[in-house]
Structure 1
Amino acid sequence: MNITALTCVKNEGPFLLEWIAYNRVIGVTDFMIYHNDCTDGTDRLLEKLQEHGIVETMVNPAKGRNYQMEALKKSRRRASIKKADWVWVADVDEFLNIHVGDHTIPALIEACGNPQCISVTFQFFASCGIEKYEDKPVIEQFLYSHNPDIWTHETAIEVKSLVRSDFPMTYFGAHRPFHDGKNLPRRKQPTWTDGSGQPVMIQFIKMVNKRRIRKYPSKGVRNFATLNHYAVRSLDSYLVKNDRGDVNREFREFDDTYWRERNDAAYFDDSILRYKDKLAAEMDRLKALDGIGALHDECVALHKAKLEELMAQDTYQAMRKQLQTCSPYPPNEAELRELIGMPA
């Protein structure tokens, strides 16, 4: 079974080998990785991995600023996508945690009844009070998340999708595939399940509600798989991540909402550690390839250097202090706690 992971990256160098190794462990056979405007060695590491036949990579073909969507729409022309039986669309901070069989993608597909699409629900993992960046596997460091069924005040949570080659697709979306048959009756719609093997709601397939195009209620949808999302990682890496974007923060107050929403450490979940030993062995195999270990180390060094550069700026010093001292509760929960007289 050919399974291709499809993603777009910018300055993900220190985290790239872990993500590739992890996906190889769970059954991914090929990778199509677009990159743009990298300053931390990500592009050089990808090119060397391509030389070794591990990935297919290219500069993002986007003409505008919507890098991800433009690349995903054009990706179907690429060799690794054309030959794939399944395509897994995910970001480098997202890890598919499979709870059935031998914990691989083929086992998930079998458990779900081999549908044309499987959409797996996010679970956002917090920074867990870790401030310093370390060159250690992300999945081992961050083991606390929000209540899996409730994120901030939402009971509907976003998904990412595994798409079979015969899905009647118009184009890949970042969260789900899109198709022209949304007005067809249910019996003519593609077979599509959640992470428990249950058919997703017809309203989701037909995109009836624009607010629910990429999410649906999360209760009972993770029996076979969860999508562990490490959106904040350590405080150090989060500061570097903020610099990666093109928002000029110098002339406006920093908003800590994104951090607070994804830094809810209410729930302990270490189930992904089932992959720990196999991940370590696969990372060692990749680092042993000519030039790969050295390029990974270069990415790590540049990540640390960027942090030092940012911390020399007053704006980033203020940002760090704000994140260190802000409420540990998501904004909506903090408001509720304040309303009933509890510390927010």
Structure 2
Amino acid sequence: MRITVVTCVKNEGPFLLEWIAFQRLIGVTDFLFYSNDCTDATDSLLDQLQEHGIVAHLPNPATNRNYQIQALNAARRHPLVRKSDWVWVTDVDEFLNIHVGDHTIPALIDACQNPKAISITFQYFANGGVETFEDVPVITQFLHSHNPDLWCAETAIEVKSLVRSDFPLQYYRAHRPFHDDAKETPAWKDGSGRTVPAPFRRRANKRRVRAFPAKGARQFATLNHYALRSLDSHLVKIDRGDVNRENRAFDETYWRERNDAAYFDDSILRYAEALKVEMDRLKALPGVGDLHDKAVALHKARRDALLEQDSYLAMQRQFRETSPYCAAEEAIINEIAGV
């Protein structure tokens, strides 16, 4: 089975090897990376990995600021995608945690009875008070998240989707494929092997384009989303900006909404030992380890440069001191307390 992952990156250098190694563990066979405006050796590291036959790396084809949309439109015509059995559109801070069989994508597909698409629900993992960036696997550092069935005040949580080659595709987008309802109703499952809700499949309204109720949707798989990582890395992320779209703020609201640490979940650690072995194997490839170390050094250097600016020092203090509750949850707490 050929499974191709498609992703867009900008300044993700320190995190690439972990993510690539993890994807290989769960059954991804091919990688299609699009990068733009990198200053932390991301592009150099991907070029080196391409020389070793690990990934395919291209400059993002965007002619405007719609980086992800234009890249996904181009990806559809790429040979790796055209010869794939399945396509997995995801980001470098997202890890597909599979709970069935041998914990691989083929096992998930089998559990879902081989549909034409599978949409897996996000679970946002909190910063958990980790301030300092360390060059160790992200999945081993952050083990607390929100209640899996409830994010902030929402019972519907965003998804990402695996898409089979014969899905009646109009186009790929970040969270799901789009198709013509008039042609067919493809078999489309959630992370528990249930048919996805009709309002989601039909894009019945804006809220149902990329989300549906999360309760009961994670029996077979969860999509662990490490949107914050360490406080150091979050400050560098703010400086970088969103790789996928312009004018998105990684501000206090973004932080609070993703920093709910009420629920402990270490199930992804089932991959930790094998992940280290695969990361070490990748690092041992000529030139790869050195470029990874360069990316780590540049990430730290950028953090240090940012913390010489009063504005970033103020943001660092703000994130340290901000409420651990999202605005909606804090409003409920205050109402109960009579504040």
TM over 0.5: yes
1:227-278: CA deviations, max 9, x gaps? Answer: 000000000000000000189xxxxx99400000000000000000000011
Distance in 2, matches of 1:233 and 1:19, equals: 14
Percent identity over paired residues: 65
Whether the 8 Å contact between 2:145 and 2:264 is mirrored in structure 1 is: yes
Which residue matches 1:74?
Answer: 74
Equivalent in 203, 226, 230 of residue 230 of structure 1: 226
Which residue matches 1:250?
Answer: none
Q: Secondary structure at the match of 1:149?
A: coil
Whether the 8 Å contact between 1:6 and 1:90 is mirrored in structure 2 is: yes
Distance in 2, matches of 1:65 and 1:280, equals: 36
Distance in 1, matches of 2:127 and 2:148, equals: 16
Whether the 8 Å contact between 1:182 and 1:205 is mirrored in structure 2 is: no
Which residue matches 1:61?
Answer: 61
Which residue matches 1:286?
Answer: 282
User: How many correspondences in the alignment?
Assistant: 334
1:78-130: CA deviations, max 9, x gaps? Answer: 11111110011100000000000000000000000000000000000001110
Which residue matches 1:323?
Answer: 319
Distance in 1, matches of 2:228 and 2:267, equals: 19
Which residue matches 1:108?
Answer: 108
Distance in 1, matches of 2:222 and 2:242, equals: 31
Unaligned runs of 5+ in 1: 248-252
- Cα–Cα, structure 1 residues 183 and 83, in superposed 2: closer, same or farther, change >3 Å? closer
Which residue matches 1:310?
Answer: 306
Distance in 1, matches of 2:224 and 2:314, equals: 30
Runs of 4+ in structure 1 off by over 6 angstroms are none
Q: CA RMSD in A?
A: 1.5
Which residue matches 1:90?
Answer: 90
Which residue matches 2:181?
Answer: 182
Whether the 8 Å contact between 1:7 and 1:91 is mirrored in structure 2 is: yes
1:188-232: CA deviations, max 9, x gaps? Answer: 301100000000112211111121100000000000000000000
- Cα–Cα, structure 1 residues 143 and 57, in superposed 2: closer, same or farther, change >3 Å? same
Q: Kindly state the Cα deviation for residue 182 of structure 1 after the two structures are TM-superposed.
A: 2.4
Whether the 8 Å contact between 1:11 and 1:38 is mirrored in structure 2 is: yes
Whether the 8 Å contact between 1:182 and 1:207 is mirrored in structure 2 is: no
Whether the 8 Å contact between 1:125 and 1:146 is mirrored in structure 2 is: yes
Q: Secondary structure at the match of 1:77?
A: coil
Q: Secondary structure at the match of 1:87?
A: strand
Q: Secondary structure at the match of 1:316?
A: helix
Q: TM-score, normalised by structure 2?
A: 0.96
Asked if 1:339 corresponds to 2:339, the answer is no
* Counterpart amino acid of residue 203 in structure 2: M
1:116-145: CA deviations, max 9, x gaps? Answer: 000000000001110000000000000000
Asked if 1:146 corresponds to 2:146, the answer is yes
Q: How does 1:187-336 map to 2 (within 5 A)?
A: 188-245=184-241, 255-336=251-332
Unaligned runs of 5+ in 2: 244-248
Distance in 2, matches of 1:285 and 1:317, equals: 38
Distance in 1, matches of 2:242 and 2:201, equals: 33
Distance in 1, matches of 2:65 and 2:198, equals: 32
- Cα–Cα, structure 1 residues 281 and 306, in superposed 2: closer, same or farther, change >3 Å? same
Whether the 8 Å contact between 2:124 and 2:145 is mirrored in structure 1 is: yes
Distance in 2, matches of 1:227 and 1:196, equals: 12
Whether the 8 Å contact between 2:4 and 2:30 is mirrored in structure 1 is: yes
